[in-house]
Structures are given as C-alpha cells and as structure tokens.
Structure 1
C-alpha cells in the first residue's frame, strides 16, 4: 500500500481555505485488485482508520508491504501496542494474535522496491491530476469519484473465462471482490457540457467520464505490445478472445470478440481480422484490437508451438 496526493478539497464555507487530503492505495499481490481510501492527513490515526475501513470491506490480510514512511511505522507500532494492552478484550486480542498482520517495510530511500503499487498509482494519478485540474470537490464528492475510479481499475480484463467459442466473458479483479463483473450505473454523457453549467453530482460524473476516456485508451494501448526482431512475434489465432478498442465506449464497458478469420497479406502478415461478437460480425484492423494481459493455457501452448517452429 502507498499514498498519493495531496489533493485539494472544497472548504465547508466560502471564506475558509481549501483543505488537503490524501489517497491511500491498497493493491492485492495475487489478483491486482485495487482499493482506494480518502485520508484526511498523514497522521497515524487517520491511517489506522483507513486500514480498518479496508479490512472491514475486503477482509483481513496476512501481510502488508509498504514504504518506510513514518505514518506506516507508527501504525504498525500502535497496532502492536493495542494487542499487548492488558485492558484490551481478551477475545479480540486472541483473534488479532491468531490473524496478525505481518508488516514488511521497504528499505529507506528505495521506492523502486514497490513497483507494483507505484505502477497502480501512476496509472490513475496522472489522469486524475490532469482531469481534476484546478477544480475542487467536497469530501463526499471526492470519495464518490475515488470509488468510481477504483471500480474502473478493477474492471480491466485479465484472462478469458474459457476457451468456448460462444463465451465472451473475461475474468477481472472485480470477480475476486464481488464474485462477478463490476457494473456502472447508466448515466448521461456530460463530457462536452461546460463545468459551470452542471450540478454538483454532475460535475463529479464529468470528471469520472473524462478520466475513464483517458485511462481505458492508454491501458488498451499498453496491451498492444511491439516485439523486437530477436523476440518471437505475437501470433493471432482463430477463436482467440480479444478486446475491441472503442474511443466512445461508456465507462466500465469493455467490448470483446472472438477472432473467426485471419486475413493475411501477400507477405504473410495479418493486418485485418474478422471478429464475432454478441451483436454481430465485424472486420477490424489489428491496430483496433488488443490481446488480454494473460492468455488462456490453450493459447499459450499454441503460441509456444508457433515460436518453436519459426
């Protein structure tokens, strides 16, 4: 886990100065699921409150990795002292001892040790800062926006559900959190409406839609890998599940399709494919489709066979 910020919050009344807040980012090592918590400051007490909210919603974790920040060290010491307190309820103390959290701190001045959560922060923070700009939101509006951003990050496709030609579903981090794919509440498109003409809740949705449009296109581009000449090329195969890039897709919408036909050129390179989707057949260039981050076992075996043959 790590922090990003500070971010500016709208004051309770006009004459007050904007207040600062931070975002606590929790990333699961196993499923890459993301959890965001709005924190009022960098004190130990606020971090423990964020940690308790995280544990209450996601469950108790066995290990936590973090930077060597003073607030994290203070939280670990305070939790340890709480368990050792004689006046603490014996049952709760026993439960904490049985399910104690083992805390791992990175070495000082070694932020590169946390590459997993640093990449997660980078993927969302830079778009969040650009979209938010000089706008300030109230605490509850900012919390709503961060929760929707968390939902977007946890909706990204990871691997096909199956190799069935009629199955277009993909596994996402949201499946590990709620048991199914995460859904968004349908909303009107307010991206092109000026900010000052929108109500407070519509302003939050405008920022959310702008961030989705930026982030999902960038994430799709990272899945279109380009290999050097000394690496085996990416082999497209029939019946392979791919993501279809759509610049106008609404939030939380990932269009998928199965490749049913390859159209290689005179040089043998495939630049056009025919896709089968739940809504029909489409012909798309290879630049408009993306492979999933993790392929199915059948696709990996076939790719390995093609690489050995070449």
Structure 2
C-alpha cells in the first residue's frame, strides 16, 4: 500500500514560511538601503569637489572612470577609459570623451563592441589615474 503525501491547503503557510518571506524582504530592503547609502556617501567622496578652493588634478587621457547613471540599477554602472578631454576656457576639464564596452546578448551569443560617449566631468568618478 502506498501512503499519500498530505499537503497543506493552498493559501495556508507554516510559520517558518512566513518567517522566510519576511526575512527575504528584509534582506532585499537592507541591500537596497546599503546601495543607496554607498552611492550617496562613499561614491561621492571619491569625486573631490574643489571648486574655487584649490586646484586639483584634471582628468587625463587613459584614466579609468566609472560612469554615474541615475537611471540604471545597481551593479550596472559602466567602466570607461578616457580617450579625449575637452577643457574650457579656464583650462579646467569640463567634458570627457570615453571608450565604453557595450555588451549585448543576441540570438544566444554575447556581442561586445566599443562605444564612444561624451560625459560631463561631474557624472564620472576617477578610479585609476593614468601615469
């Protein structure tokens, strides 16, 4: 004789299931909070704001930067390499031309191509300075 498995009725959950569901939501909430604080506090500290106080290093060709993008989700900000700087009349760099890898997934294959973007200096953060 086979014994049949008795399942709980649909819509009813064990206390452990409710705990895990709440725990998962809490972990996701904390991860999002961490990311928001990291963007707001730490990442902005990497970009030094020296306006009218003292001279700082201008971005140079071959610097490696991260592109700040308010519209893309976390972990999708792109890295770029500075290929051209565009200084203003006062000699300070205001715009950068960047080489960025554009990756797409088409027909089961991963395609990568280089793309050039222009970004204002306040939307990028220098990670590695060129020597």
Place the TM-score, normalised by the shorter chain, in its bin.
0.5 to 0.7
TM-score where L is the length of structure 1: 0.29
Separation in structure 2 between the aligned mates of residue 284 and residue 251 of structure 1, nearest angstrom? 19
1:213 matched to 2:36: yes
Structure 2 residue corresponding to 1:287, chosen from 119, 122, 125: 122
**2:93 equivalent among 270, 274, 294:** 270
| Alpha-carbon separation, structure 2, partners of 1:248 and 1:202 | 23
Deviations 1:1-29 (A, max 9, x none): xxxxxxxxxxxx9xxxxxxxxxxxxxxxx
CA distance in 1, matches of 2:63, 2:75: 22
Compute the displacement of 1:271 (Å): 0.6
Between Structure 1 and Structure 2, the one with more helix by share is 1
* TM-superposition CA deviations, 1:181-226 (whole Å, max 9, x none): xxxxxxxxxxxxxxxxxx4213421331132122123222101113
* 2:95 is the counterpart of 1:260: no
Report which structure shows greater RCO (CA 8 Å, sep ≥6). Answer: 2
Instruction: Give the number of the structure whose alpha-carbon radius of gyration is greater.
Output: 2
Contact preservation (8 Å) 1:217, 1:247: no
Measure the CA separation in 1 of the matches of 2:36 and 2:69: 10
Q: Distance in 2 between matches of 1:249 and 1:233?
A: 29
- Whether 2:61 is the aligned partner of 1:238: answer yes
Q: What is the count of residue pairs matched by the alignment?
A: 99
CA distance in 2, matches of 1:251, 1:285: 21
* SS of 1:246 mapped into structure 2: coil
In structure 2, what is the Cα distance between the partners aligned to 1:258 and 1:281? 10
CA distance in 2 between counterparts of 1:275 and 1:219 reads 23
CA contact (8 A) 1:220 1:245 kept: no
- Take 2:63 and 2:119, find their aligned partners in 1: how far apart are those partners? 14
| SS, match of residue 208 in structure 1 | helix
Partner Cα separation in structure 1 for residue 61 and residue 40 of structure 2: 25
Scaled by the length of structure 2, what TM-score is found?
0.62
Contact 1:217 1:245 in 2 (8 A): no
Q: Which residue of 2 aligns with 1:224?
A: 47
- Helix, strand or coil for the counterpart of 2:27? helix
* Residues 99, 117 of structure 2: 8 Å contact kept: yes
C-alpha separation between the residues in 1 aligned to 2:69 and 2:43?
A: 10
SS at match of 2:39: helix
Structure 2 unpaired stretches of 5+: 1-14, 103-114
